[in-house]
Amino acid sequence: MDIKKIPPALTPEKLLQIAFKRAAKEARKVQVQNKGLRKKRAEERRVRESADYIVSYLTRMEKLGDKIGTADPFQREILEISIGAETIQSAIDRLTWAKIKIAKLEVRSRRNIRMRKGDPVTLRKDFYGKTASILDKISGDLKFIGDIQRAIKNLPTIKEGYTVVLAGMPNVGKSSLLRGLTPSTPEIQPYPFTTKNILVGYIPLGHREIQIIDTPGILDRPLANRNPIEKQAILALRELADHILFVFDPTETCGYTMNSQLSLYREIIENFQGVTPILNKSDITPAETSEKVEEEIGSPTLKCSATEGEIDDVKEFILQSSKNRL
Ligand SMILES: Nc1nc2c(ncn2[C@@H]2O[C@H](COP(=O)(O)OP(=O)(O)OP(=O)(O)O)[C@@H](O)[C@H]2O)c(=O)[nH]1
Ligand SMILES: [Mg+2]
């Protein structure tokens, strides 16, 4: 089931407008000779058609819960991190409540019209008014479901196959590196947390391709204190990475000291296998700084300048590491 294939979310006003318009159109089709009877049947038809439309719309929206439940674990977890599973479920529960209430109201209203318990037009208007006030009670939930749908549409599409994840602190040049390595053009701005979601690019390799994932910057702090943007990055490392390229900015122009970058690096190597350190911004890094940093890291590093296009070593490394894996 493709999670992205969901009907568009409507506001209560729009939903009522469509439902009432369709109902009026259907009511005009009622063909009965007797004028009094025709009026009664037409009003009953309007109640039935509008209720059908609204109830089936709410039923389709309820299915969003099942869709999220059967989405791939990575997409599901991103939604849970950014929105929260319980909040999604309680919005869906309120849609169910509204649906049941409208369905019951429909049965009662149609029976009243049939049994002549008042003027049919007044009874139908009464049904419309009550339906509108039920939908009004869930207008916040309908809007929220619209937000979830937008989030779903923006979910990254991740493919199977060899995947390299770029990680590091904010502003060190991860997105610039993705841009250099792949033809995709992620948004790049000189301030932290430019990347708020996962970005994906591909390096073609024969009839295969290597998937490169750019993550939001991660700060050096305990997991419990991490914000939803950082949590997405950790999730990408955990769920998707065959190999991790940890990007350093030895110049510290990113706004973070080497000490904090090293502390994050140590946390990453403690928790994940296959991590390679990269020293970016080589175009503005003095040779002695780069040597000192390499010593502190304690293992050989790849050096590059993402913005100057000096990334051949990184590209070669990725191709080799993929060959070892494929
Ligand atoms: N001089 C120089 N500047 C670079 C290099 N790579 C990136 N920058 C600059 O560093 C800034 C941040 O680059 P991004 O690629 O957005 O960094 P990021 O790691 O993706 O940042 P977040 O998405 O916030 O985590 C931009 O102003 C880039 O132009 C480089 O190799 N050399
Ligand atoms: Mg970025």
List, for residues 121-157, the tens digit of each pLDDT value: 999 999 999 999 999 999 999 999 888 888 888 788 8
On whether the CB atoms of residues 61 and 145 are closer than 8 A, the answer is: yes
Is 217 touching ligand 1 by the criterion CB < 6 Å? yes
- CATH 1.20.120.1190 in the chain is located at 12-153
Can you tell me the distance from the alpha carbon of 72 to that of 51, in angstroms, rounded to the nearest whole number? Answer: 34
Q: For the domain 12-153, what is the CATH code?
A: 1.20.120.1190
Which residues of the chain does CATH 3.40.50.300 include? 163-325
Between the CA of 313 and the centroid of ligand 1 the distance, in Å, is 18
Q: Is 283 in the pocket of ligand 1 (CB under 6 A)?
A: yes
- Separation of 100 CA from ligand 2 center, angstroms? 46
Atom in ligand 1 nearest the alpha carbon of residue 191? 24
Per-residue confidence (pLDDT) for residue 189, from 0 to 100? 63
Q: 195 CB less than 6 Å from ligand 1?
A: yes
Q: What is the pLDDT of residue 269?
A: 95
* pLDDT of amino acid 80: 86
Q: In what order do the strands lie in the sheet with 243-248?
A: 199-205, 208-214, 163-168, 243-248, 275-279, 302-303
Residue-level pLDDT at 28: 95
Mean pLDDT of 194-214: 88
Distance (Å) from CA 224 to ligand 2 centroid: 22
- How far apart (Å, rounded) are the C-alpha atoms in residues 170 and 43? 62
- Identify the residue whose tokens are 């990007």: 247
244: CA distance to ligand 2 center in Å?
A: 15
Residues 6 or more apart from 60 whose CB is under 8 A from it?
6, 7
**Residue 20 predicted with pLDDT over 90:** yes
Least confident stretch, 43-57, 106-120, 129-143, 182-196: 182-196
Strand, coil or helix: what is 219?
Answer: coil
> How is domain 163-325 classified at the CATH fold level?
Rossmann fold (3.40.50)
Check if 170 has its Cβ closer than 6 Å to any atom of ligand 1.
yes
Which pLDDT score is estimated for 149?
84
- With cut-offs at 50, 70 and 90, classify the pLDDT of residue 326: low
Q: What average pLDDT does the chain have? A: 91
Confidence of residue 187 (pLDDT cuts 50, 70, 90): low
Among protein residues, the one with the nearest Cα to ligand 1's atom 8 is 173
C-alpha 262/C-alpha 137 separation (Å) is 52
pLDDT tens column, 251-308: 999 999 999 999 999 999 999 999 999 999 999 999 999 999 999 999 999 999 999 9
Per-residue pLDDT tens over the stretch 215-265: 999 998 887 889 888 999 999 999 999 999 999 999 999 999 999 999 999
Residue 69 binned pLDDT confidence (cut-offs 50, 70, 90)? confident
Query: Structure pTM?
Result: 0.81
Q: Looking at residue 177, what is its pLDDT?
A: 96
Confidence at residue 205, expressed as pLDDT on a 0 to 100 scale = 85
What are 75-86's pLDDT values in tens digits? 888 888 888 878
The CB of 215 under 6 Å from ligand 1? The reply is: no
Which range, 6-15, 178-187, 245-254, has the best average confidence (pLDDT)?
245-254
Per-residue pLDDT at 193 exceeds 80: no
326/317 Cα distance (integer angstroms)? 14
Band the pLDDT of 67: cuts 50, 70, 90. Answer: confident
**Residue 158's pLDDT is what?**
87
Q: What is the mean pLDDT of residues 83-91?
A: 87
